[in-house]
Every structure is written in C-alpha cells, then in structure tokens.
Amino acid sequence: MSGPGRKLSVLGAGSCGTSLALLLARNEHYVQLWGRNSIAMAAMIRNRQNERYLPGHEFPDTVAPTADLAEALRGADLLVVVVPSGGFRATLEKVLAHAAKPIDLVWATKGFDPHSGELLHEVARELSPARTRMAVLSGPMFAREVAAGLPAAVTVASPDSGFANELAEVFRNPRFRVYTSSDIVGVQAAGAVKNVFAIAAGIADGLEFGANTRAALITRGLAELLRLGVGLGGRQETFIGLSGLGDLVLTCTDDQSRNRRFGLALAKGMSVDDAVASVGQVVEGVETTRQVMRAGEKTGVELPIAEQVNEVVFHGKAPNEAVNALLSRPAGRENM
C-alpha cells in the first residue's frame, strides 16, 4: 500500500468526498469519485468540478467522476466511503454486490447506523468479508479548507495498526497531518456525538446568549462526550484529542458546520424541516441526536445537553426554554 500512483475509489461526491478526492489526487493517486446522482455526476464530468458544493476547485486529470458503481470500483485496492450515515449500510451492500475481491475500507462518515444504533465499524464488520481491513478517518476538517489545501490534522483509527500506518501515508502530505490510533470505537463515537453539541451551540449563539454560554456548552459537551464514549468502549484519551475535543471545538464555533447552522436556524424560529432545508445538505446531528439518546439509555449515561437538543428537535420544545433548562440545572462537583 505504500508509494504514489494507487487507484482509489471515493464513494460519496458531496463536499467532504470531493475534498478528499482532491487531496488524494494531490498525493499522486488516481481517484474514481462516485456519486449516485447521475445528473450531478454528469455535470462534474462536463465541468471538471463540483459546482454545487466546492465551486472553483477544478478536478485534475487524476480524478474521474462517475455514477457507475462498478466502474468506480474497477481496479481499486482502497475504498474511501464518505456517504451520510443513513446510507452507509446500503452503500456497502451495493459495493459487495459489485466487488470482485475484498477491498480495504476506510470511511470518513460521522454517525451511527440509524436502524440498529450501531457504530459504523459494526455494520462494516457484519457486511464485509472476514479479510477486509477497515478504518475510520475523522477529526476537525471542513471540506472547503481541505479542498483549498489549507493545513489540517486528523486521526485515522483501525484495530490493525499496520493498516492505520499505511493509510496515514496515503492521506498525509505537508498540509494534511495524519495521526494514528487503534481506538476505532472512540474515534467514531467522538465524530458522531460532537454534532449534537454543535446544534446546541448554534441554538445558544442564535439566541445571543454570548461567548460565556458557548464556552460552557463546549466544556460540558466534552464531559458528556467523554462519559458516553467511554461507556460505549472508547478510551478516555481519544476524547481529548483531534477526533474529540478538536472536532467538537471546530463544529461548535464555525459557521461552516452544518450542525451549528441548523441550530442557528432553529433559534430563529424555523421548524426542523425548514432548518434542514436552509442548510442545503444532510445534517447528521439530527438523526445522531436520536441515536445518542438511545446509546445513553443503553449505557446508563446521563446526557443533559443531548437531552435538551432531543427535546427541541423531536418534541417541539422552544429553543430558549431548552437553554434555560440547562442553565438552571443544579451545579454539582465538576467531574469529567
């Protein structure tokens, strides 16, 4: 797996998938970029860029967009999945129907399986051949900045340390720093759960509660993330690293975050459906909120911030009431 010039498949031609395709092409790999929308993919073939999500970032000759999954998989020895979590299972099922041999698998999808509540490595292990090597790529990385070649640092996690190191070499360049981890559970949990707290931060900022409230939400959100992540089997140190604290700070504080923008829209009085429509892309935090509450019940972990986001998103609670409910909770001993 070492060395340039590999043939890779990126499945998912949204903003994140496209940005990773551009990154991999800059790293001298040949990338087959697949999207299921044939009209959108035809436009990318014609215009040599993703005009909807990343306008102005032209595809080099080593990026080949296609809506044909069999074509996207042909000759590839690494599969990079960047579809929304709701489509992760169905995408892998389609891959297995077309793949002629086991393919190494890494995903940058952040979420839970909406049907089973499982983390995505459990879905991948259930569906994939026994010899499949798998990993997750996660951390603070906005697509537009990755596409522009701005500096970033992320984590790739796999139970196979050799595979994690090989993937780090595939993705790494002077502007994209890749650390490795064996904690595939913790890295996935962190990447998924932080989206719920980004919604909360967006709501609080949309209500103009100020920087003090935002800092409190991020800090106590980290405490919830750590408790739940450890309860699910992750390691504590993972949640204060790039895929935990790093990604949490990013998504809670910058309006490139879809989940934060969704929270801002809710604070303006938009309905959930209108708020999602205003973002214009999948808002992973919506379904993740449901799954986080499910995980909290399973592990017995108290999740006061996630609970209030759940009340707003699924039970019609007014955003200002939700934030006030959090701020009025008795403050006991601070304990991460």
pLDDT, one tens digit for every residue, the chain (336 residues):
444 579 999 999 999 999 999 999 999 999 999 999 999 999 999 999 999 999 999 999 999 999 999 999 999 989 999 999 999 999 999 998 887 677 899 999 999 999 999 999 999 999 998 889 999 999 999 999 999 999 999 999 999 999 999 999 999 999 999 999 999 999 999 999 999 999 999 999 999 999 999 999 999 999 999 999 999 999 999 999 999 999 999 999 999 999 999 999 999 999 999 999 999 999 999 999 999 999 999 999 999 999 999 999 999 999 999 988 887 777 666 664
Other beta carbons less than 10 A from residue 125's beta carbon = 12
Q: Which domains does the chain have, with CATH numbers?
A: 7-182 (3.40.50.720), 185-327 (1.10.1040.10)
**CB-based contacts of 139: which residues, under 8 Å, 6+ apart?**
152, 153, 154, 155, 191, 242, 243, 246, 247
> b/e string for 265-277 if b means 16 or more Cβ within 10 A?
bbbeebebeebbe
What pLDDT is stored for residue 335 in this prediction?
A: 61
**CB-based contacts of 234: which residues, under 8 Å, 6+ apart?**
183, 185, 186, 187, 189, 190
What pLDDT is stored for residue 329 in this prediction?
A: 76
Provide the edge-to-edge strand list for the sheet that holds 176-181: 63-66, 30-34, 7-11, 78-81, 104-107, 134-138, 152-157, 176-181
| Region of residue 64 (phi > 0: left; psi between -120 and 50: alpha; otherwise: beta) | beta
- Contact assessment for residue 143 and residue 15, using Cβ atoms and an 8 Å cutoff: yes
What pLDDT is stored for residue 98 in this prediction?
A: 81
Q: Which residues are catalytic?
A: 194
6-to-17, 144, 236 alpha-carbon distances in Å: 17, 24, 35
Q: What is the pTM of this model?
A: 0.94
- Contact assessment for residue 225 and residue 192, using Cβ atoms and an 8 Å cutoff: no
Rounded-to-integer distance, Cα 292 and Cα 89, Å: 19
What pLDDT is stored for residue 97 in this prediction?
A: 83
What pLDDT is stored for residue 196 in this prediction?
A: 98
268-to-257, 275, 305 alpha-carbon distances in Å: 17, 9, 19
Alpha-carbon radius of gyration of the chain: 19
The residue among 14, 275, 284 whose CA lies nearest residue 144 is 14
Residue 243 in 3-state DSSP?
helix
- Contact assessment for residue 30 and residue 6, using Cβ atoms and an 8 Å cutoff: yes
* H helix runs in the chain, sequence order: 15-26, 38-47, 69-73, 88-98, 120-127, 143-147, 161-171, 184-206, 211-232, 247-253, 258-267, 272-279, 284-299, 304-315, 319-327
Other beta carbons less than 10 A from residue 46's beta carbon = 10
Token pair belonging to 76: 């590839």
What is the DSSP secondary structure assignment for residue 183, as one 8-state letter? Answer: -
26-to-63, 147, 175 alpha-carbon distances in Å: 10, 10, 11
Rounded-to-integer distance, Cα 225 and Cα 296, Å: 11
